[in-house]
Copies of this chain bind each other. A is one copy, B any other.
Amino acid sequence: MRKITDRQKQVLDYISDFIDEHAYAPSIRDIQNHFGLKSTKGVKDHIDRLVEKGYLNRAEGTARALEVIGNGRKASRKIPLVGTVAAGLPLLAEENIEDYIPVTADMARTEGMFFLRVNGDSMINAAILDGDLVLVRPQPFVEQGEIAVVRIGDEATVKRFFRFNTRVELLSENPDYKPIVYYDDDEDIRIVGKVTAVYRTLE
C-alpha cells in the first residue's frame, strides 16, 4: 500500500473513528471543523489523495459517501443465529432468529448461511461443546466424514457424515453415543449444510 503522510493518516483515522461512532461518514465540513481548518479545500485535497492511494472509497456527487478500505475495516456480514432448533425447520423464519452475529465477509460468501446453537455433548471429541454456535453453509452434500447439520424428521443434529452405497451413517464424536444408521429408503433424512466454523463464548 502506498505511503501516506502523517496528516493524511490523521484525517483517515478521524474518518474511521467517526464512522465507528456515528454509523455514517463525516462531511467535509465536519472534518474541517475537527481539525480547525478555515477552508474546505484542504480537506478535499486530503481526501483526494487518500482515494488515489486506495485508502478510501468515495461515491461521487453523493453526501457522506466515504468508505474506509482495509486497515481493519473489511466488510463484515451479520449472520442470523437460529435458536436451538429442536422443533424442526424452516430455520430462517423470523420468529426463530435469536440474534445476529458478525463474521468476516470471506467466511460468508454463500447466501443463506446461519448459526445454530449446538445441543448436547455428542461432538465433544471434535471440540464442539454444548452451547457452542456452529456456522452452517447450506449444501445438499458433504465430503465423507465432514461435520454436517442433518435434519432427521423434525430435528436438526450435528454429526460426522458418512455414506456407504445405500447406507448413511451419522457418527458422534463421543464414545457414549452410537452411530445413527439410515438407508436410502428412509425419506426423512436430509443434509442441511456443512459446519464451517465454531464460535464459543466462555464465562
Contacts and interface: CB of A to CB of B under 8 A. Distances in A.
Given A22-B59, A64-B65, A200 B202 contact: no
A72 B100 contact: yes
A147 interface: yes
A80 B74 CA distance: 12
Interface size class of A (residues with CB under 8 A): 35 or more
B102 A104 contact: yes
Interface stretch (A83-91, A162-170, A179-187, A190-198): A190-198
A7 B187 CA distance: 40
Contacts of A65: 22, 24, 64
Interface in A12-54: 19-20, 22-25, 27
Given A64-B24, A102-B103, A196-B201, A76 B78 contact: yes
Contact of A67 (B24, B78, B202): B24
Given A59-B22, A72-B100, A76-B78, A199 B199 contact: yes
Given A72-B78, A73-B100, A196-B202, 5 more contacts: A20-B77, A22-B59, A72-B99, A147-B202, A198-B200
